[in-house]
Structure 1
């Protein structure tokens, strides 16, 4: 058997770390700080010794999980909304719950979304897809930048539990971490997430990288407080839906409930 190259070993290491962190996020979502390394191993389908080789204690694991999530936390404010939903945006925001459930399961609702029971042929399906894309783009525009950003973030949390935990722990000041570890995380979160979000709330546009550095230095306290309160409201509303596995399809309901 040909020995693995250094590059192959590194690829395996990084893949294993990602597997362990994802499992840790899923376990932490349900057990919080009661999480144990053996729980993570079981969730990841790995041996206890394998996980322990990478992380000998849960503090290091959760600290790395949050930093890793922070690297993915930027960019959601300006990502195209229509690229994210698995459920058509109009269905999320306007359709009854039966239609949302059918759409999320991949089944066509009885009578169709707009009441048509006819089975489309291939040509009409292509036309319908084109019309649907136009409707979703229009619906995204109708949402407004803050509501659209909120729906995007909720949908990302549904797919990436570590991102949800990052925002939840940030709202709690990363209190379970020692100050030497929590302070750099909190500072980076303010820069990467709160500053661009507060700019969006103030002007309707997220700050770019250059503007963020300026905002961070002289940002009025009320702006950051508004961003923190919005994220706290999203975290609280997302909690029940996330535990039920319904957050992606209920993201629009939450946006409407909060009147974003």
Structure 2
């Protein structure tokens, strides 16, 4: 039997990494920061030694999971960020994509929930760079859309409120196994209809 080529080894590595990442996300939803590398190996149906070969401890594993989730999150909302227009309509489209990504990809939900919790489960400043990158690549573009479409005095407060509402709604559904019933468009429409109503009243419209 001839030895594997570099390309074959790279393909196997990528397959294993994806398998481990999917399992880590599932275990994290069940156990939170209490997860262990051994738990991930069991969920992935891989030997402990195989997973340990890639990750010597759970913080290394979670760090990779969250960085990968950041890239996935940015990819999901990039069409809106790079698209034409602005204001609340653009922010609403952004929010729908973000919530849909939470439904479809547990790692995206874990990232958003971890950011919303300010990484308080994680030791030291290990994730400060990740937080800064999330702000720059995801949150600040969203906050800018809100600023364009609302009273600037309240734009940051509203951006935080919307972000927190999306994370909270996703958490409620994910932890009760209701993902298939989640109406992402409906919940975002409800949030933004309230904001548009307040803006209209604030501008003297009826």
Same fold (TM over 0.5): yes
Is 1:241 paired with 2:173? yes
Counterpart secondary structure, 1:229: helix
> Is the CA contact 1:171–1:228 (under 8 Å) kept in the aligned structure 2?
no
Give CA-to-partner distance per residue, 1:112-137, whole Å, 9 cap, x none. xxxxxxxxxxxxxxxxxxxxxxxxxx
Written as runs of structure 1 = structure 2, the 5 A alignment for 1:165-204 is 165-203=110-148
Counterpart secondary structure, 2:76: coil
- The structure-2 alpha-carbon separation of the partners of 1:8 and 1:238, relative to structure 1 and needing over 3 Å to count, comes to same
> Is the CA contact 1:194–1:228 (under 8 Å) kept in the aligned structure 2?
no
- The structure-2 alpha-carbon separation of the partners of 1:48 and 1:221, relative to structure 1 and needing over 3 Å to count, comes to farther
What is the CA RMSD across the aligned residues, in angstroms?
A: 2.4
- The structure-2 alpha-carbon separation of the partners of 1:259 and 1:159, relative to structure 1 and needing over 3 Å to count, comes to same
**Equivalent residue for 2:161?**
229
Larger Rg: 1
Counterpart secondary structure, 2:79: coil
What is the deviation of 1:148?
2.6
- The number of equivalent residue pairs is 183
> Is the CA contact 1:20–1:41 (under 8 Å) kept in the aligned structure 2?
yes
**Equivalent residue for 1:252?**
185
**Equivalent residue for 2:59?**
59
Task: Looking at secondary structure, tell me which structure has more helix per residue.
Answer: 2
Written as runs of structure 1 = structure 2, the 5 A alignment for 1:1-260 is 1-79=1-79, 144-203=89-148, 223-247=155-179, 249-250=181-182, 251-259=184-192
Counterpart secondary structure, 1:258: helix
> Is the CA contact 2:38–2:48 (under 8 Å) kept in the aligned structure 1?
yes
What is the deviation of 1:32?
0.6
Counterpart secondary structure, 2:77: coil
> Is the CA contact 2:162–2:191 (under 8 Å) kept in the aligned structure 1?
no
Quick one: distance in 2 between partners of 1:246 and 1:44? Answer: 23
> Is the CA contact 1:21–1:65 (under 8 Å) kept in the aligned structure 2?
yes
What is the deviation of 1:225?
4.5
Question: What stretches of structure 2 of length at least 5 have no aligned partner?
Answer: 81-87, 194-206
